[in-house]
Each structure stands twice: as structure tokens, then as C-alpha cells.
Amino acid sequence: MAPRFLLHHSPRSRSERALWLLEEAGASYELIRHDLEKGTNKAPDFLRLNPLGKLPVLVDRGPDGSWQSVVTESLAICGYIADALPEAGLAPAIGTPERAAYASWLAYGATVLEPAFADAVFPRAAAAPARALGWPPLDAVLAQLEAALTPGPYLLGDRFTAADVMVGSMLQWGVGWGKIAPTPAIARTLAALEARPALARARAAA
């Protein structure tokens, strides 16, 4: 039987988050690699999966290979994998107190950290009205993360979850690009993420 999951992937893109989480989950998966320079993500077959031509795209064939579901957007994909494979422990169970904090942090990377980072790196010609934005400036975002990651090393303390992939991957990118200066707690978290064997496996597979 074919692997349960099929990930449409391109290195150095947001699909690395999904690949990392598949490795963390010990999932059965295969990759279809795309060349963004050649535009393979704009081919008709791919556009039938995601009409926007964006990566990543995850295809779930089901536990027994009897059905096919398509998930787009890295935030949705990471949440989906964590819930589809609960035995991996990558998300607190629905109905537990920890689920609320997890759900908030899972969304934080894509809906707060990433747009605040983009605003800082690619400033607008004119500032947008504050009430028009759903995120604060990057320095405020990083201060909130510093507080959340103390004591750490993860967003839920000593428990690693899919939220750490979403937030941590963005911090890795910003620090690696030299656009984020890591605070002590953020530096400790990044070191903990770098030490994870699943991240090393994902990088080797990419």
C-alpha cells in the first residue's frame, strides 16, 4: 500500500514545516518535489489540488488508503497532521485545558509572527492604520514570545507540539536571515529545536 500522506514540497519554503511535522509524527509519507523556478507548482495537475499554485499541499489517503483528502496552507496542514496522528502526542487532546493555549500558539506563527516580520523587513510606503492590522509590531511580538518561552524550552513548557514547528520555523528563518536578534529564551528554544532528530531527518529528506 502507498504511504498514507503525500506532500507536495519545495526546499526552503513553508512546506518544510509540514515535512518536519511528518517526521516528528513518524508518519508514512512520500514527497513530490517542486521547482519553483520552473513553475511546476503552476502545472494543471497541481492547480487542481490548489488553484492558487501554492505550496505546501498535503494529500491524505486515509489510514487504509481508501480515501483522499487535500489540505492546503502550512498552518492547516500542521494542525491536521497533529490531530490525524494523536498517538504522536503533537497536540493536546480536544477538551483538555492545554488545548486552548496550544490552539492559540499554533495560529500565532502564521497570523501574528509572520505578518509582523514581513512588515518589519518589507515596510510599507505609508503606515497602515493601526486598527486595520491584526498584529502588533515585531518588537512587541518578540517580547511576547520571550515571555512565553520562559521557562520553556517550548511554548507549552517542556512539551513539544505542532505549535513549536509553526512558531519555531519562523524564528529559525528570521534569525538565520539576520533579521531577528534572538533573546535568551528564544535562543534556548532554537537550540532545543535544532537538537531534535526529526528536524535533522526532515532536512535530509528535503
Quote the pTM value: 0.94
Q: Assess whether 80 and 104 both reside in one domain.
A: no
Give the tens place of pLDDT for each residue, 163-178: 999 999 999 999 999 9
| pLDDT exceeds cutoff 90 at 130 | no
| Mean pLDDT across 26-38 | 94
Distance CA 141, CA 118 (A): 12
Own/partner pairs for 175-178, CB < 8 Å, 24+ apart? none
Q: Assess whether 79 and 102 both reside in one domain.
A: no
Residue 204 lies in a domain: no
| pLDDT exceeds cutoff 80 at 31 | yes
Residue 206 lies in a domain: no
Q: How far is CA 120 from the centre of its chain?
A: 20
Q: What is the pLDDT of residue 149?
A: 97
Q: Domain range holding 191?
A: 98-199
What is the overall mean pLDDT for the chain?
95
Q: Give bridge partners of residue 78 from the DSSP assignment.
A: none
What percent of the chain lies above the pLDDT cut of 90? 88
Q: What is the pLDDT of residue 127?
A: 84
Distance CA 74, CA 171 (A): 15
